[in-house]
Amino acid sequence: MFPVPLPPRQPPAPSPPRSPPQQSKLLIVTHEYSLSGAPIALLNLAAGLSSKFDIVVASPSDGPLRHHFLARQIQAIVVPHLDDDIHVSRSLLLAFDGLLANTLASFMCIHAAYQLRKPSAWYIHEGQAAALFVKLFGPQLLAAFPLATRVVVPCEFSRNFYATVRAGIEIVPYGVEYRETKSQSIRNQPMKFLQLGTIEPRKGQDITCAAFRLLKDQPIDINIVGRIGSSDYQTQLLAYCADIPHIRFFPEVDASQTAELIGQCDALVVSSRDEVTPMVILEAMAARKPVIASAVGGIPEMMVDGQSGFLYPPQNAQQLAGIIMRLVQDDPLCQAVGTAAQQFVRANRTLDLYRDKFVQILQAFPSSACIVQAPAKP
């Protein structure tokens, strides 16, 4: 017998189109939109998270940095009393799946997230300045530490600093955009130094001025750039430096101009009395510029003294002056330290590393309160 012919095989019916999973809504709260370290770190982070989350950034007051969020297609809004009225922060947070709170000043939003059973990550940047927050807000601030789902800091110094009020603090070092610089630009004559930061005693511009006074007759210049945090302090600095022509003060510049200023200098000076891990140090290192910095906070975690940067005891103008003269007299040393600094950033402090580590933290929220949309099953 001949086999019975089988009916022709029909093509499988097409599967109905599947909608992509909806992105979870993440509220990011920053205490201000200023052109300072913590908000700029948040801007760099948010730009990387915007492809994974539906992000809205909120602050209780407006400022120049908000326009940089908007330029990157990140919604950035102003919500008065967001940081001091829990009813305001609760009302805003209702529409979101989770919270990323930036700096200690956002502690009220941590309380609001806890009350609403929303997961929260608290990103803390302050060092010794935390004492002022504790003095102002006391128990309410300290009570927020155990309420946050995760607490994140940028360095080991900060984790140790806050260890008495919270266990299990996680470290995510800052990252900056890395651009390959194959050759150092020709050294300026006279050699040009740069200091960037808010004009206030904490940033120690007076120490820099004292060091340059010791080197008054040397072929060096320094530009001190920053917004005025203390007008009295600025007045004192101007009077102290009136007879030193190679010290010049300039007002705050836009974030987009920082790279240009760094590119034009020969070395960066950081003479702070209190710091965590200043973003400007990484930006200078990425640009292959040697950095001279006071050994405070987490700064020693950013460089190896004499190899990828230079450290000196805080408030010691004489030692700062000595390192400046060492660079003036040894161009090959400048080149070698700048190269090592750039290599450190490339290996350890890029934006991609920074963002990826933070995404891992957000994805590690408890599954019962997860703000990351699970991938669709195949």
CATH code (residue 267): 3.40.50.2000
Q: Is residue 224 located within the same domain as residue 364? A: no
According to the model, what pLDDT value does residue 81 have? Answer: 96
In whole angstroms, how far apart are CA 215 and each of 4, 211, 284, 286? Answer: 103, 7, 23, 28
pLDDT at 235: 96
Same domain, yes or no: 165 and 240? no
Domain tally, the chain? 2
- Residues 191-244: pLDDT tens digits? 999 999 999 999 999 999 999 999 988 999 999 999 999 999 999 999 999 999
Cα diameter, the chain: 115
- Do 144 and 252 reside in the same domain of the chain? no
Predicted confidence at residue 253, as pLDDT, reads: 87
Predicted confidence at residue 37, as pLDDT, reads 86
Q: Are residues 265 and 288 in the same domain?
A: yes
Q: Could you tell me if 209 and 283 lie in one domain?
A: yes
125 with 204, same domain? no
List pLDDT tens digits, range 301-334: 999 999 999 999 999 999 999 999 999 999 999 9
330 and 208, same domain (yes or no) = yes
The token duo for 24 is 């979870």
On whether residue 376 sits in a domain, the answer given is no
Same domain, 327 and 356: no
Instruction: Mark the ranges of the chain whose per-residue pLDDT is less than 50.
Output: 1-13, 15-20, 183, 367-378
Among 306, 1, 357, 29, CA closest to 175: 357
Q: State the residue range of the domain holding 59.
A: 25-175+352-369
Quick one: 47 and 157 in the same domain? yes
Residues 64 and 110 in one domain: yes
Q: Is residue 80 part of a domain?
A: yes
Pair 39, 84 in one domain = yes
Cβ atoms of residues 281 and 291 within 8 Å: yes
Residue 35: the pLDDT is 87
pLDDT at 366: 59
Structural contact between residues 172 and 48, judged by C-beta atoms closer than 8 angstroms: no
What's residue 187's pLDDT?
74
Asked if residue 71 and residue 104 are part of one domain, the reply reads yes
